[in-house]
Chains A and B, each alone.
Chain A
Amino acid sequence: MQSSPLAPASVTAEDEQALSRVFSAYTLTGTLWLLFGTAVGLLVAFKFGAPDFWAEKYLTFGRLRPIHTNSVFYGFATLMLIGAAYHVVARSCGTRLYSAKLAWLGLWLFNIAAVAGTVALSLGYNYGDLEYREWPWPIRLIFIAAVAVTGWNLLATMLHRASRDLYLSNWYIGAGVLWGSIIAIVAIIPIYQHGLGMMAISGYYMHNAVGMWFTPLALGLFYYAIPKVLNRPIYSYSLGVLAFWTNLMFYPLLGGHHFLFSPLPWWLQTAAVICSVAMIVPVFAGSANYLLTMRGRYHGRIESYPLAFLFIGVLCYLFGSTQGTLEALRSLQDLWHFTNFTVGHSHLTMYGFVTFAAWGAVYALLPLSTGKNPGRFGMATHFWLALVGMGMYVIALSIGGSVQGWDWIQHAPFIKSVTDMKTYYLWRGIGGMLMFVSHIVFAWNVWRMTFGKSGDAPSPIMEPEAESTP
C-alpha cells in the first residue's frame, strides 16, 4: 500500500464519499459514546469519595459501573475502531466498500444495542455481574448481529481487492471480526455455563474480548496508519506475520489468569500463566516492528500529533501487556489480584493502548477521507490532557493497588485497605477529570474534521524522509 496505493481504478467519487460518510458517522457516534461513557466513569470515580452522592436506585454505583465499561467497550471503542477499519480495509485493498448500506445497518445495530444495554443495566437487568457481558441476552444478540453484518461487509470488501496480496492490516481486522463473533457466541450459549462452568467461560471471555477483539482491530489500524503517517513502509512484514500467529496461539488462554488459585482445573491455570509469559513474543515482535518503523523520526512525533497518539498507543501496548505478564505470575497475583492495580492495568491497556490507537487512526485518516483538518491547538490540548490524566490515573492505582494488596497480606483489618486508598482514589479522580476534559476537546476536533469548519493542522502525512533527516 505505502505512499501510493494501487490506483483505485474502479473507485468512483461517489464511492469515496459514501466511505467518508460511513467513517464520519462511526467516528461521531463513537465520540458521543466516549463522552457519555467517560462522564459515567468520572461519576463512578467521584463516588469513591462521596458514596452518598446520587445513591438513588438508577444511579447507584453498581449499576453505573457496568454502564461505564459496556458503553466505552461496545459504544465507543468498537464504533471508533470499526469506522477506521472500513477506511483502512477499502484503501489498503484498493477497492470500494462492499456495501455502504450494510455499514449503516451495522451502525444502527451497534447503537441500538448500546442504548438498550445502558437502559437495561440502569433498570437492574444485569446478567449476573459477569464483566463485559452484563447486557441481557436479547441485547447481546443484537450486538452479535451487528458484528456479523460488519464482518460480512469487511470480508466481502477484501474479497474484491485490487491487489493479489492481502496487506497485514487486513489479517488482523478480518480475523478480528471472526474472532469477535466466536467470542460473543460462545459467551451467550447457556448450556455449559453452570457454576464452575460459568466461571471458566467468564475467565475466557474477560480477556478474549479485549485480546481477540479490541487488540487485533487496534493492531490492524497501527499497521496501516503508522506507515501512512510516516510516509514509509512498515519495518518488517515477517515480524508482523510472526506476531499475528503467536498472538493467536497464546492470547486465547490468558483468561484463566483471572481465576488463579480458584478451583478451576490446575492445568488450565498453569497454561494461562505459561501463555501469559509466552505473550512476550507477539507483544515484543509487534511493538518492535512499529517502533522500528518510526526509527529516526522521533523528533517528528511532536510535530505530528497523529504520530504522537500512535506512538503512545504502541508504548502502552508494550507496557500494558508486559505488566499483564507480570500480573499473571502466581507470586505477584498474591499481591495484586483483586486490587486496584488491575483497574490501573485495564486503563493502561484499554485507554493507553486501544483508545490512543483509535484516536491516532482517526487523526491520521479522517482528514484524508473528509478533506478537513482539526486545529493544531485542539489536537495538542487533547493529547497532553489525555496523556497526563491517564498517567495520574494509572500511577495512582498501581501504587494504591500495591498498598491494598500488602494490607491484605498483613491481615490488617479490611477497613484499613479502604482508608489507605483514599489519596489514590483522589488522584485517580483528578486524572480522570483531565481525561474527560480532553474528550470534550476531541469531540470538538472530530466536529471540525467532519461537519464543522476545517482547522489549521497540517496534513497528517509527514514530509518524506529525505527532507527531514539532516
Chain B
Amino acid sequence: MKEMIKIIGGAALLYLVIVMLIAVLPAIDLSKTPAGPGVVPLTPLEAHGRQVFAANGCAYCHTQQVRPTPADANLGRPMSPGDFKYRTPVLAGSERTGPDLTNVGTTRGSDVWQYIHLYDPRAVEPDSIMPNFKFLFRVVDTVPEGETAVPLPPQFAPKHGHVIPTADAKALVAYLLSLKQTKIPGYSMNGAMGGTTSAAAPSTAGGTSAAGDTAQGASLYSSHCAACHQASGAGLPGAFPPLKGNAVVQDRDPTEHIHVVLNGLHGKAIDGVTYGGAMPPFAGLLNDADIAAIINHERTSWGNAAPTVTAADVKAVRDGKPVAAPTTPATAPAVASPTAAATPAAAEKSAYQFDAKRGDALYASTCAACHQASGEGLPGAFPPLKGNPAVLADDPAEHLSTILHGVHGKTINGQTYSSPMPPFGGQLDDEQVADIANHERTSWGNAARHVTPADVAKIRARK
C-alpha cells in the first residue's frame, strides 16, 4: 500500500506539477496575448467559413504558420504572437501536403480562382492531389437571381447546367480570402514581405541581367501567377485571361504591364472578354527585382517576344514616373545596339514604318482565328477581309474603328453576321492597330493605302 502510493501517487503528482509548469500556466498567459497591429476578428461569414475549413479537415494538409527559417522565407513574414488573438481554433496545422495558407488571401486573391479550385483543383493545377469539393456546390439549370455561375473550363464543367456555390462554399472562400498577414510597422525582411530575392543581385540598370533572371522568373511565375494564368500562359477560358499573345504583355511600352502586376486589375475587357474575378496587387508582396523577373518571364515565353524590363522600370512605375529606361529586345544579344535602345518612345512613333512581318504576326495571333490566315473568313460566321469594302476604302475610319471598337450585327455584301467582333482597342496600342490594318490592306490582293499610328489615335479619340 505505502509503496504503491509512493511510486504511482508520486509519479502522478510529479507529472501534475510538470504539466502545470509547462502547459497550463503558459497557456493561461499566452491566451491573453493581445492582437497585433491591424489584426482584426473575422466577420460572421468568415467565421462560418472557418467552421467549414475545420469540418472538412483542410488543416491536415495545409499549415497556417510561417517560421523564421530559410524554407519559409518566401511565404511571408514569420508569425508574431499578435497574429493569434482571434485564431481559436488556431488551425496551425502540422503537415504541408499542400501549401501554407497564411497569405492565401493575397497570393490567390481571386474568388473566381478559389471557386474553380475548390470545385476541381485539377482545372487550375493539373498536378494537384487535393480532393475536389464538389459537394460544396450545386448544379442548376438556370442561374437564380443574385447568384453567379462559376466559369469552369468546359472539360471540367458538368455536362448540363451551371455550377453555383452553396452558402458553405461562399463562407469558406470568404475565410480563405481573409487570410492575409498584416504588416508590422518597422519590421522588414528581405524587401517587402520576405521576398525571395535577398540573395539574388538586383538587376543592373542596363537590363543585361535578363538572362540571369530567367530561372528566377520562371520559378516566381510558377508560384505567384501560374495558379490562374497557368504554366502554359494560356489562362483559363472565361475565368483568367491568357498572357500568351496578350496585347499588354506584348506591348513594347511595359508601363501598363508593370502597372497591372503591381496594382492588380478588375473588370477590364481583354480580347472582348470581361473577367469576373479580380487580379490581386503584388506590390506589397514582391520587390522590384522579383516583379521584373516575372514580367520578363511573361514577355519572353510561349512565343511572346516583347522587350524586357529592369527593376528600375518597376520602381519608376511604382513611383508613378514614366519608364525612362530604354527597353532591350529580349532576343537581342546582351549588349544591345545603343541606338535602337536609346530611341525614345515618342520619336519611335513619328518614325513609324510598316513592318510586314510584325503585321503578319499580330494578325495571326489576333484576327486569324475568325477571319482566317487566307483573309477569307468563314462563310456565314465571319466575314472575309479579302476584297472587303471597309478594308479597301481610301478613308480608313471605318476599318480602324471596327478594329478598335468591334462591330455587331452588320450586313456585309448582303450577308448579316450575328456573332459580335470584340473590340481590340483595350489590348492593342496605336502602332499595333496600324500594323494589323496595314497587313489587311496589303494582303490577299488588297491594295489600299497605308495608315499610321497617328490615324489610329485620331479614330480612337473620336469615340
Interface residues of A (CB under 8 A from B): 47-49, 51-52, 55-57, 60-63, 65-66, 124-131, 155, 158-159, 164-166, 170-171, 174-175, 178-179, 182-183, 186, 191-202, 204, 206, 212, 244-245, 248-249, 252-253, 255-256, 258-265, 268, 271, 333-335, 337-340, 342-343, 404-405, 408-409, 411-415, 417-419
Indicate whether B381 reaches chain A with its CB closer than 8 angstroms: no
Indicate whether B69 reaches chain A with its CB closer than 8 angstroms: yes
* B90–A63 touching, CB < 8 Å: no
* A339–B70 touching, CB < 8 Å: no
* B89–A212 touching, CB < 8 Å: no
Interface members, chain B 209-267 (any A CB < 8 Å):
219, 222-223, 226
* B8–A415 touching, CB < 8 Å: no
CB-defined A-B contacts under 8 Å, sample of 27? A61-B60, A62-B56, A62-B57, A62-B58, A62-B60, A63-B55, A66-B60, A128-B88, A129-B58, A129-B89, A183-B19, A186-B19, A186-B24, A194-B31, A197-B29, A197-B30, A202-B90, A202-B92, A252-B19, A259-B65, A261-B68, A261-B69, A333-B69, A408-B71, A408-B96, A409-B71, A413-B223
Per-residue 0/1 for B64-108: is the Cβ within 8 Å of any A Cβ (1 yes, 0 no)?
010111111110001111011111111111111111000000000
Per-residue 0/1 for B94-135: is the Cβ within 8 Å of any A Cβ (1 yes, 0 no)?
111111000000000000000000000110010111111111
In the complex, what residues of A have CB within 8 A of residue B60's CB? 61-62, 65-66, 129
Query: Beyond A198-B89, A248-B14, is A125–B55 a contact (Cβ under 8 Å)?
Result: yes
Q: Chain B's nearest CB lies how many Å from the CB of A461?
A: 28
* B15–A179 touching, CB < 8 Å: yes
Q: What would 18 more interface pairs be, CB under 8 Å, given A343-B95, A411-B71? A: A55-B131, A63-B55, A65-B57, A129-B89, A158-B8, A174-B8, A179-B11, A192-B31, A194-B31, A196-B84, A198-B87, A253-B22, A259-B65, A262-B65, A334-B70, A408-B72, A409-B71, A413-B223
Question: How many pairs of residues, A versus B, come closer than 8 Å at their CB atoms?
Answer: 254
Indicate whether B201 reaches chain A with its CB closer than 8 angstroms: no
In the complex, what residues of A have CB within 8 A of residue B130's CB? 51
Indicate whether B63 reaches chain A with its CB closer than 8 angstroms: yes
* B57–A129 touching, CB < 8 Å: yes
Indicate whether B38 reaches chain A with its CB closer than 8 angstroms: no
Indicate whether B26 reaches chain A with its CB closer than 8 angstroms: yes
Q: CA separation between A179 and B23, bound complex, in Å?
A: 14
Which single member of A196, A244, A268, A333 contacts B81 (CB below 8 Å)? A196
In the complex, what residues of B have CB within 8 A of residue A126's CB? 54-55, 57
In the complex, what residues of B have CB within 8 A of residue A206's CB? 94
Indicate whether B193 reaches chain A with its CB closer than 8 angstroms: no
In the complex, what residues of A have CB within 8 A of residue B128's CB? 51, 415, 418
Indicate whether B1 reaches chain A with its CB closer than 8 angstroms: yes
In the complex, what residues of B have CB within 8 A of residue A175's CB? 7-8, 11-12, 15
In the complex, what residues of B have CB within 8 A of residue A196's CB? 30-31, 33, 81, 84, 90
Per-residue 0/1 for B1-36: is the Cβ within 8 Å of any A Cβ (1 yes, 0 no)?
101100110011011101100111011111111000
Residue among B3, B90, B93 having the largest count of chain A Cβ atoms under 10 Å: B90
Residue of B nearest to A50 (CB): B129
In the complex, what residues of A have CB within 8 A of residue B80's CB? 263
Indicate whether B59 reaches chain A with its CB closer than 8 angstroms: yes
Query: Beyond A124-B55, A408-B71, is A263–B121 a contact (Cβ under 8 Å)?
Result: no
Indicate whether B61 reaches chain A with its CB closer than 8 angstroms: yes
In the complex, what residues of A have CB within 8 A of residue B97's CB? 48, 340, 418
In the complex, what residues of A have CB within 8 A of residue B12's CB? 175, 178-179, 182
* B90–A55 touching, CB < 8 Å: no
* A55–B94 touching, CB < 8 Å: no
* B132–A55 touching, CB < 8 Å: yes
Q: CA separation between A178 and B16, bound complex, in Å?
A: 10
In the complex, what residues of B have CB within 8 A of residue A256's CB? 22
* A63–B57 touching, CB < 8 Å: yes
Indicate whether B196 reaches chain A with its CB closer than 8 angstroms: yes
In the complex, what residues of B have CB within 8 A of residue A127's CB? 54, 89
Q: Chain A's nearest CB lies how many Å from the CB of B295?
A: 18
Which single member of A159, A202, A260, A265 contacts B1 (CB below 8 Å)? A159
Query: Beyond A52-B131, A268-B26, is A129–B93 a contact (Cβ under 8 Å)?
Result: yes
* A334–B69 touching, CB < 8 Å: yes
Q: CA separation between A235 and B277, bound complex, in Å?
A: 71
Q: CA separation between A66 and B79, bound complex, in Å?
A: 26
Q: CA separation between A428 and B247, bound complex, in Å?
A: 48
Q: CA separation between A412 and B131, bound complex, in Å?
A: 23
Q: CA separation between A127 and B192, bound complex, in Å?
A: 36
Residue among A252, A258, A262, A417 having the largest count of chain B Cβ atoms under 10 Å: A262
In the complex, what residues of A have CB within 8 A of residue B14's CB? 248
Q: CA separation between A204 and B20, bound complex, in Å?
A: 11
- In the A-B complex, list the 5 residue pairs whose CB atoms are closest, starting with the nearest: A62-B57, A128-B89, A197-B31, A124-B55, A261-B67
Q: Chain B's nearest CB lies how many Å from the CB of A196?
A: 4
In the complex, what residues of A have CB within 8 A of residue B65's CB? 259, 262
Q: CA separation between A255 and B19, bound complex, in Å?
A: 11
Q: Chain B's nearest CB lies how many Å from the CB of A155?
A: 7
Query: Beyond A126-B55, A263-B84, is A186–B23 a contact (Cβ under 8 Å)?
Result: yes
Per-residue 0/1 for B117-155: is the Cβ within 8 Å of any A Cβ (1 yes, 0 no)?
000011001011111111100000000000000000000
Q: Chain A's nearest CB lies how many Å from the CB of B126?
A: 9
* B27–A66 touching, CB < 8 Å: no
Which single member of A61, A159, A200, A338 contacts B27 (CB below 8 Å)? A200
* A60–B133 touching, CB < 8 Å: yes
* B95–A164 touching, CB < 8 Å: no
In the complex, what residues of A have CB within 8 A of residue B89's CB? 127-130, 198
Query: Beyond A199-B92, A200-B26, is A61–B131 a contact (Cβ under 8 Å)?
Result: yes
Query: Beyond A193-B27, A199-B84, A263-B83, is A413–B219 a contact (Cβ under 8 Å)?
Result: yes
Q: Chain A's nearest CB lies how many Å from the CB of B71?
A: 4
Which single member of B24, B55, B219 contacts A411 (CB below 8 Å)? B219
Residue of A nearest to B196 (CB): A411
Residue among B84, B86, B132 having the largest count of chain A Cβ atoms under 10 Å: B84
Q: CA separation between A62 and B55, bound complex, in Å?
A: 8
Q: CA separation between A248 and B16, bound complex, in Å?
A: 11
In the complex, what residues of B have CB within 8 A of residue A249's CB? 18
Q: CA separation between A417 and B19, bound complex, in Å?
A: 38
* A412–B3 touching, CB < 8 Å: no
Q: CA separation between A61 and B32, bound complex, in Å?
A: 34
In the complex, what residues of B have CB within 8 A of residue A179's CB? 11-12, 15
Q: Chain A's nearest CB lies how many Å from the CB of B43?
A: 18
In the complex, what residues of B have CB within 8 A of residue A260's CB? 67
Per-residue 0/1 for B326-352: is the Cβ within 8 Å of any A Cβ (1 yes, 0 no)?
000000000000000000000000000
Q: CA separation between A417 and B97, bound complex, in Å?
A: 9
Which single member of A158, A197, A258, A261 contacts B94 (CB below 8 Å)? A258
* A171–B57 touching, CB < 8 Å: no
Q: CA separation between A339 and B134, bound complex, in Å?
A: 27
Q: CA separation between A126 and B55, bound complex, in Å?
A: 5
Q: CA separation between A104 and B179, bound complex, in Å?
A: 48
In the complex, what residues of B have CB within 8 A of residue A130's CB? 89
In the complex, what residues of A have CB within 8 A of residue B32's CB? 197
* A194–B4 touching, CB < 8 Å: no
* A195–B1 touching, CB < 8 Å: no
Query: Beyond A129-B54, A178-B8, A193-B27, is A52–B132 a contact (Cβ under 8 Å)?
Result: yes
